[in-house]
A = this chain, B = another copy of it.
Amino acid sequence: MIEEELIRLRRHFHKYAEPAWMEFLTTAKIIEELKNYNLDLYYGKEIYFNKRMGLPEKSILESYKNSISISDIEKKEEILDSYTGLIAVLDTKKIGPNIGFRFDIDANELCESNSLGHLPNILNFSSKNSFAMHACGHDAHMSIGIELAKILASNIKKLKGKIIFIFQPAEEGVRGAYSLMNNPIIDKLDYLAGMHIGMDVKSGEIGVGSHGFLATKKIDIIFKGKASHAGASPEKGHNALLAASSAVLNFNSLAQHSMGEARINVGKLNAGSGRNIIANKAKIEMEIRGENDHIISYLYDGVNRIVEGSAISYDCSYEIEIKGQAPSLISYDEEFIKNLRNYYKEKSYKLVDANLKGSEDIAYLLNEVRKAGGKTVHFILGSNLKDSHHSEEFDINEKDMLRGVNLMVDFVKYIEKIDKIDYERVENENIAYRI
C-alpha cells in the first residue's frame, strides 16, 4: 500500500533526522529507495553549480560523521563532504515537457521533545540525534517525493517528456537552493512545482500558487577588538561587545520602507570571555526580510554601513558573512495558475488561499524557471499540526501524505494534457550532464 509506504519512509527519516548539509544517511536512503527504478540519479558534486552557504561547524560535523556508518555507495566521499541531496530524472524518451518537482530533505537544529504526549516517542521513531529534528515536515516531503517517483517510474509508458525530482538539501536557513541554481537540469525545466505541508492549512485542504514569499538574507557578523584588563587598563581595550550592542540597536532604524514590509532581527549575540576583560570578540546572528529585492538591498546596505560605523567607533575590525538567502517570488503566470486552480476544483480538491508568510529558497528555482520562460507553482498540502512549525512537539497528520502524492500525480496529468510546447528542439538536447 502506498499509504503504508509513506508512513514507513516518513518515520525512518524522522528517526534519522539530519540538519542542513549533514543529510548523509538521508541522501543514502533516497538513493537506496530509488536505485532500482527506471530513474537516472545525479548526486554529489555534479549537481552543484554555486557555492554552498552556511556550512556546519567543523567540530559538530566531524563528531557526527564519526558516529554514523554509511554503506558503500558511489561518491560516498562527496556526500560526506556535504554535497548532499540528489536529482532523479525519469526520461520517457518521448517528446514532451520537462516537469520538475522539488522536495526539501533537511531537519531543524532542534532537540525533539521527550514528552509522552508526543507520538514519535510512543511509537519509537523520535529523532536519534539531539541536535536535529524534523519539525517542519521535510520528512513527509521526501517520502511523498520518493513515492511519487516510484509511481511515475512504474507508469513510464503512459508518460511523455522528462520528469525531474529534486531532493534539495539545506532549505532551513535558506541555504541549499542557491547552490543548485544554474544547474542545466533545472535550467531546462518547462514546469516546476514545489510543495509544503502544514502552514496553517487544515487537513483536507490545499493551496495552489502560494504567495507571500519574503526575500531574505541570513547574516553572521563578527566584530574583533582587543582584550585588556577592565580594571587596570580599560583604555587599552577595543570593545567588540559594545560595537555589537551599538550595531544591534542601530539596525532597527532600517525597518521602515515605503515599498512594503521590512524585517530585521538579531536573534543571537554572543560576546566576550570574562567579566573583568574588555571583550575582544562578538558574534551576531541575524536575518533581514523584505517584500521585494529592493527592500533587501536597502536593508543589506544599511546593515553593512552600521557594522562598518560601529566597528570604526570602537576601533574594531569586522567580518560579514551571508549564511543563507532567498529572493522574493517574481510572480506566477496568472493564467496558468487560474486554470490550474479550476482543474483542481473540478477534481474536488478543497482550495484555500495559500499565503506562505515566510521565506523559502525554492523561490530561487521558481524564479529561474520563470525567467527562462517556464511555468511554476507552489502548493500547500494542508495538515492538522500538533504544534507549530519549528516547535519541539511539531507533528503532522500522516494520513495527509497520500493526498500530497495524488496532488503531484494530478499535476503531471494536467501538464501532459495541456502542454502545447513544440519539443522538436528539445528532443535533440540532453537535459542532463551525462549521456
Q: Which residues of A contact B (CB under 8 A)?
A: 109, 214, 216, 218, 229-236, 239, 241-242, 244-246, 248-250, 252-253, 255-259, 262-279, 282, 285-287, 289, 298, 305-306, 308-315, 357-359
Contacts and interface: CB of A to CB of B under 8 A. Distances in A.
Given A263-B230, A267-B278, A248 B256 contact: no
Contact of A231 (B248, B310, B357): B357
Contacts of A306: 313
B258 A233 contact: yes
Given A265-B230, A275-B268, A235 B256 contact: yes
Nearest to A219: B275
B298 A309 contact: no
Contacts of A242: 248-250, 252-253, 266
Given A246-B246, A270-B270, A312-B309, A357 B265 contact: no
A287 B274 CA distance: 10
A302 B125 CA distance: 45
11 contacts: A242-B266, A245-B269, A249-B250, A267-B273, A268-B275, A269-B269, A269-B271, A269-B272, A270-B271, A305-B314, A309-B309
Nearest to A200: B232
A359 B267 CA distance: 33
Instruction: Report which residue of A234, A257, A308 has the largest number of chain B beta carbons within 10 angstroms of its beta carbon.
Output: A234
Q: Give the number of times this chain occurs in the complex, counting copies.
A: 4
A283 to B, nearest CB: 10
A242 B250 CA distance: 8
A234 B257 contact: yes
A137 to B, nearest CB: 16
Nearest to A108: B274
Contact of A255 (B239, B256, B259): B256
Given A255-B252, A255-B256, A265-B276, A359 B231 contact: yes
Given A231-B214, A276-B265, A305 B315 contact: yes
A267 B232 contact: no
A312 to B, nearest CB: 4
B359 A218 contact: no
A315 B308 CA distance: 11
B287 A275 contact: yes
Contacts of A252: 242, 249, 252-253, 255
Contacts of A314: 250, 253, 305, 309
Given A246-B249, A250-B313, A275 B270 contact: no
Nearest to A220: B275
Contacts of A313: 250, 305-306, 308-310
